[in-house]
């Protein structure tokens, strides 16, 4: 796997996957009782993580408003009142059974019962893609082993579709690798989106899918999830960002 070029203005790097537990209904259809059971199962698995993955689980309704706002602005926590999740029935009984796990440095996080049972996230400042991806892989494997050991369940997987998720766009690897990158002024929004699409990349605002760019900083990630390996998708992001920046410096 090649690396991001040093001259590429990367502010931070993130890799995340979505996962659901085999034997439980997905968030759109799960009962209140089963959602709480999923939370308890995951809390046991997460609290047993060791080393740099070790951290603590915080039920969503235990966090103060100021703590939530700070976590959301830092890109660590999901937002409330998502209209698409509400329309799909995912946010029923909100916020009961939801929460966030994170380690001391906030480089490894897990969202519980948001859009899926788990959203596993590895992130840090800078462009060290290999470190971020390595931490993600270790976290995924550690959680799955803990689930098998303590609850005799594992991640929901289909031999043709890969890891199963609430949103069809996450079928397959369920992985989204992204960077917050300062895009050169030589690109306007339309040019940037068209160029990224040709490179197999997706463009969002700094704070998520429906947000706008701030100060020329965009969230750029892989578009594809299905039919390729996680390493392939990560390499697509690396190659695409390098190409994007090389193109801009020639214009």
Candidates 96, 138, 153, 169; catalytic one = 169
Which of 245, 8, 236 has the alpha carbon at shortest distance from 133? 236
pLDDT of residue 102: 98
Contact 186, 243 (CB under 8 A): no
Spot the catalytic one: 13, 14, 19, 115. 115
Q: Which of 151, 170, 172 minimizes the C-alpha distance to 162?
A: 172
Largest CA distance in the chain: 58
Handedness of CA 72, 48, 176, 104 (dihedral sign): positive
Q: Is 209 one of the annotated active-site residues of the chain?
A: yes
113: left (phi over 0), alpha (psi -120 to 50) or beta: left
Is the Cβ–Cβ distance between 1 and 130 less than 8 Å? Answer: yes
- Residue 115 is a catalytic residue: yes
- Residue 133 has phi, psi (to 5 degrees) of -70, -40
- Of 47, 80, 209, 212, the active-site residue reads 209
Q: Which of 92, 138, 204, 228 is catalytic?
A: 204
Torsion angles phi and psi, residue 31, rounded to 5 = -80, 165
* Domain boundaries, given as residue ranges, for the chain: 10-250
Question: How far is CA 31 from its chain centroid?
Answer: 25
Interhelix angle 230-250/129-151, nearest 10 degrees? 160
Give yes or no: 228 in active site: no
pLDDT at 187 (0 to 100):
73
Question: pLDDT tens across 5-29, in order?
Answer: 665 689 999 999 999 999 999 999 9
Catalytic residue among 96, 137, 167, 247: 167
> What is the tens place of the pLDDT at every residue in 52-92?
999 999 999 999 999 999 999 899 999 898 899 999 999 99
Selecting among 35, 98, 176, 225, the annotated active-site residue is: 176
- Is position 92 annotated as part of the catalytic site? no
For 205-226, how does the pLDDT look when each residue is reduced to its tens digit (9 = 90+)?
766 665 565 667 889 999 999 9
Q: In the chain, at which residue ranges do the beta strands (DSSP E only) sit?
A: 10-19, 55-59, 99-103, 108-112, 118-125, 157-158, 162-163, 175-182, 201-204, 217-222
pLDDT at 15: 97
Task: Considering the candidates 16, 19, 35, 135, report the single residue annotated as catalytic.
Answer: 16
User: 16 catalytic, yes or no?
Assistant: yes
Domain made up of 10-250: CATH architecture:
2-Layer Sandwich (3.30)
Active-site residue flag, 119: yes
- Bridge partners of 12, per DSSP, are 125, 180
Active-site residue 114, yes or no?
A: no
CA separation for the pair 28, 89 (Å, rounded): 5
């Amino acid at each position: 796997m090649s690396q991001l070029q040093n001259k590429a203005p990367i502010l931070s790097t993130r890799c995340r996957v979505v996962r659901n537990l085999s034997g439980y209904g997905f968030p759109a259809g799960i009962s209140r009782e089963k959602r709480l059971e999923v939370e308890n199962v995951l809390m046991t698995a997460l609290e047993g993580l060791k080393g740099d993955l070790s951290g603590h689980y915080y039920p969503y309704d235990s966090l103060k408003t100021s703590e939530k706002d700070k976590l959301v602005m830092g890109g660590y926590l999901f937002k409330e009142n998502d209209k698409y999740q509400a329309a799909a029935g995912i946010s029923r009984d909100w916020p009961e059974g939801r929460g966030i796990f994170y380690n001391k440095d906030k480089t490894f996080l897990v969202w519980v019962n948001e859009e899926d049972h788990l959203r596993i996230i590895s992130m840090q400042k800078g462009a060290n893609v290999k470190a971020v991806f390595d931490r993600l892989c270790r976290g995924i494997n550690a959680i799955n082993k803990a689930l098998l050991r303590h609850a005799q369940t594992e991640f929901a997987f289909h031999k043709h579709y890969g890891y199963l998720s609430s949103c069809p766009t996450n079928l397959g690897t369920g992985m989204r690798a992204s960077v917050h990158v300062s895009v050169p002024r030589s690109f306007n929004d339309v040019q940037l989106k068209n160029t990224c699409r040709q490179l197999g990349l997706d463009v969002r605002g700094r704070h998520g899918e429906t947000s706008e760019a701030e100060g020329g900083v965009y969230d750029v990630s892989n578009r594809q999830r299905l039919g390729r390996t996680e390493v392939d998708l990560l390499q697509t992001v690396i190659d695409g960002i390098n190409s994007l920046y090389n193109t801009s410096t020639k214009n």
